[in-house]
Amino acid sequence: MELGEARRRIRDHANLHAFISLSAETGSGAVVAVKDLVDVAGMITTAGGIILPETPAGDDAAVIKRIRSHGCVVVGKANLHEFAYGVTSVNPHYGSVLNPHDTSRVAGGSSGGSAVAVATAMCDWAIGSDTGGSIRIPSSLCGVVGFKPALGSIDTTGVIPLAHSLDTLGPMARDVATAAAAYSMMSGESLALEPARSPRLGVPAGWVAGLDDETQRSWDLVSAGVPEVDFPGREELYNIGLTILLVEAAEYHRQWATRFPEKYGADVLGHIRRGLEMPPLNAEYFRAWTRMRENAQRAMDGIDALILPATAIVAPLVDAGTEVREPLTRFTRPFNATGQPVVSLPAPVSGLPVGIQVVGRTNSVAMSVAAWLEREWRDKPP
């Protein structure tokens, strides 16, 4: 894609509020949209809020330096849920990111602008971040591929944190091959996308329930014949991930939330205040978390990947309340706790998009299984 074409498409779709700012860069490499948590030299980093200094970054974040070494150019800073602390990308400061499949609905969050930029071809691919589902949720709701790599795979230096123990960067793209190539540029790790055989798949036993009608129909289609397998409990993993998020985010925002509460959106301020009421996490808590991650890895013995829905519902309406937070994070947050690599892949259905998660043992396995499923589903009629 040429930068000029990308900028034209951004102007044509300005009503979707996918971007906070645009760059003045030139170049002929891959055109990349960058979630506005990530420092890009010469551009202001807002994190979707109005508290950070309005001073252009003096240097690129580590991940931007990596992609520039491959000739990539940054077209702009993508809109997001304020401070990445939400699942809708309804942003009171820069406009709500709207779903290109139905503009009465949210794009999902927190990497909503990145997902919309990919879905509407405003870029070749985009950078998102994921602490509780923030790549996979908007990828699912907007019908694109999103990859949350294994925890620690990509350097987060120069990125505004949400919860430093869980924060993960990853690519969002229109297909698995593009996402895999983007990940390799972001991380330096090469991924093989050709499995030697049909993958051994499983569904975590007792996990998938409470889906809305559209998601249930999609799930019935793609999960037919896939056996259930034993895996650690969803609620326990969910609660571990949520607790770490609440406590670490509150600590980061403590000073600002105390001094300038009026500068936050009501939902984000509420999350921060909830975290401020919680006790600090001690060493025993983190040891228990490590044991849970080890149990999750052992549970993958005998299979290549788990599959399950990315979200329990399709894209909610823009005026939906906090009741959508749990069904949007129900199946994503547990895998931030386990630290496993996960691809969100569009199901082969018509109507509003539905994403399916592919949870792998390694980054290469997650991506190769997703590529295999993408090929298998390509010929399925919606």
> Which positions are annotated as active-site residues?
35, 110, 134
DSSP code string of 270-312: HHHHHHHTSPPP-HHHHHHHHHHHHHHHHHTTT-SEEEEES-S
Of 94, 179, 83, 67, residue with least CA distance to 131: 83
Q: Is 19 helix (H, G, I), strand (E, B) or coil?
A: strand
Q: Do 112 and 20 meet the contact criterion of CB atoms below 8 Å apart?
A: no
DSSP code string of 116-132: HHHHTTSSSEEEEEESS
DSSP state of 44: B
Tokens coding 8: 């034209």
Q: Do 138 and 117 meet the contact criterion of CB atoms below 8 Å apart?
A: no
Peptide bond preceding 69 in cis form (omega within 30 of 0): no
Starting at the edge strand found earlier in the chain, the sheet holding 201-204 runs 19-22, 73-78, 31-35, 125-130, 168-173, 145-148, 342-346, 355-360, 305-309, 201-204, 228-229
> What is the residue whose two structure tokens read 């809708």?
88
Of 7, 103, 3, residue with least CA distance to 95: 103
Rounded alpha-carbon distances, angstroms, from residue 165 to 127, 186, 282: 19, 19, 13
Q: Is 102 helix (H, G, I), strand (E, B) or coil?
A: strand
Rounded Cα gap, residues 229 and 204, in angstroms: 5
Tokens coding 321: 């309340």
Beta bridge partners of 127: 34, 171
Rounded Cα gap, residues 222 and 250, in angstroms: 39
